[in-house]
Chains A and B, each alone.
Chain A
Amino acid sequence: MGGRPLACIAFACCVPWLAAAASAVEEPAGYWMGPTHGPVAASVSGGTVIHTRKLAALLKAGDVMVVDVSEAARRPANLAAGAVWLPLAHPVIPSAVWIPGAGLGAISPPVEKLFRERLALGTGEDLAHRLVIYCHKNCWLSWNAAKRAISYGYRRVYWFPDGMEGWRAAGLPTASAEPQLP
């Protein structure tokens, strides 16, 4: 569901054993197929983990494509016609492209096509272009999406596990974005 700010802060604060286990998760060999939210791996093979301070500096330097792969709220098709449907605005890191679904363990072909195309567009089809991928804190979607981008051949993929929660907690500015859907 869209905009799950603070999701994982809640996890970490309210469930101490989860917080304690946070550093113990091994990188899975393939994509992460378990629950989206929970303690994540400390690394992503072929990519670089980046934290808030360094990310802000990297963005300032420019020539970086930023991708948010958070889930978007999905209006059930059978919701009553008069029902109030008002998902919260989704804050992103300024300049980020929001592609929901790109971080699912099993990606749908239309989303994968869109993800590849947007990456190509945002990087000028340059596999050496810097690419930052994030979602929320303690969220596997960005890990999966980073792994996926690395598999496409991108050589400078940065995974930002602090997510929107880390970004906002540092008082950094955000922008609004609409989800890119196939």
Chain B
Amino acid sequence: MGVTGTFLMALVLGTLAALGPASATFADDSQAVMRAHAAQDEAERAARWKALQHAIFGARSLTDGAGVIQIEAPEHALDAALVPITLTMKSATPIKGLYLVIDNNPSPVASHFTFGPRADPRTVKLRVRVNQYTFIHAVAESADGRLFVSQQFVKTSGGCSAPVGSDNAEALKDVGLMKLHLLGTFAPGRPLQAQLMIRHPNFNGMQMDQITRLFTPARFIRTIDATYDGTAVFHLDSDISLSTDPVITFGFVPDRKGTMQLVVHDSDNALFNHSFDVPAG
């Protein structure tokens, strides 16, 4: 809590004290306390986003993304380590980049997509870790360099320390294995959605090994590159906020029958490379 928060609390306590000894300072359900608490939280959240905006985008200005970018996330996520996010973009101008920011995570930039000529960036889905109640911001960058922002609040917590499984060796089994599902029928030149599944624990360094009781060293996916017949679909810069065994849904425009190549690079400098025929088989 910053100075503002402390001041607000002082204000509330002062108010309650003025009401006399009968109105207990500890009335947990006191409307005044609750309201001040909410106002304080709101001020803190706004300040947090302002700080992040500065850290990520510097002096660039962000405009309201209503009608351009939309976030769908569960308001109450049951599993904080697997929060599904859907980002939908409906821009008249082409979108070249997409940022997903989880404000209250210590490493807030969960992903930054850069779309290539073969991309259909209208819908992107992924699963992330959420450490505590937080705003999630999605920022779309248009080809002409404008930034559009949308936000949603998510109530869940503990995603960063949630263990990956009961056994780290098990979690690392088949690391780098990939599957690609086409979520529609292939037709040359028609946009197609695909779901990419990558076997990777994406250890964030804050999870405890259930057997040794020590923190498991971080090992996470840094980048994913998708190309179709050699032309870029997307480049993703990722981080420890991506869930274990990432699942990413994205769109692309296959101009002909071809090959989707996926290259995943992790923080241990392991490189995983898989190619998939489109259409499958």
Interface residues of A (CB under 8 A from B): 1-7, 10-11, 13-15, 33, 35-37, 52-53, 56, 71, 73-80, 83-89, 91, 104-106, 168-176
The residue from A4, A36, A52 contacting B157, defined by CB atoms under 8 A apart: A4
Residue total for B at the interface (Cβ-Cβ under 8 A): 57
- Complex: A83 Cα to B205 Cα, angstroms: 15
- Complex: A170 Cα to B26 Cα, angstroms: 6
- Complex: A170 Cα to B109 Cα, angstroms: 33
Nearest residue (CB) in B for A73 is B106
Determine whether the beta carbon of A86 is less than 8 Å from that of B51: yes
The residue from A35, A36, A169 contacting B37, defined by CB atoms under 8 A apart: A169
Which residues, 193 to 210 on B, are CB-close (under 8 Å) to A?
A: 204-206, 208
Using Cβ atoms and an 8 Å threshold, which residues of chain B touch A13?
Answer: 76
Determine whether the beta carbon of A1 is less than 8 Å from that of B267: no
Nearest residue (CB) in B for A54 is B26
Using Cβ atoms and an 8 Å threshold, which residues of chain A touch B2?
Answer: 89, 176
- Complex: A102 Cα to B186 Cα, angstroms: 57
A-B contact pairs, 9 of them (CB 8 A): A10-B155, A11-B158, A15-B78, A33-B213, A71-B161, A78-B219, A86-B52, A106-B213, A171-B13
- Complex: A175 Cα to B24 Cα, angstroms: 22
Interface residues of B (CB under 8 A from A): 1-2, 5-6, 9-10, 12-13, 16, 24-26, 28, 30, 33, 36-37, 48, 51-52, 55-56, 76, 78, 80, 104, 106-109, 131-133, 155-158, 160-161, 163, 204-206, 208, 213-215, 217-220, 222, 237, 239-240, 267-268
| Other contacts beyond A71-B206, A76-B240, A106-B214: 5, CB < 8 A | A4-B158, A84-B52, A86-B106, A88-B106, A171-B13
B277 nearest CB across to chain A (Å): 33
What is the interface of chain A mostly: helix, strand, loop, or mixed? Answer: loop
- Complex: A80 Cα to B267 Cα, angstroms: 8
The residue from B55, B108, B161, B267 contacting A36, defined by CB atoms under 8 A apart: B161
Using Cβ atoms and an 8 Å threshold, which residues of chain A touch B80?
Answer: 10
A169 nearest CB across to chain B (Å): 6
* With contact pairs A79-B240, A104-B213 given, residues A1 and B131 touching in the complex (Cβ less than 8 Å): yes
B137 nearest CB across to chain A (Å): 13
Determine whether the beta carbon of B106 is less than 8 Å from that of A37: no
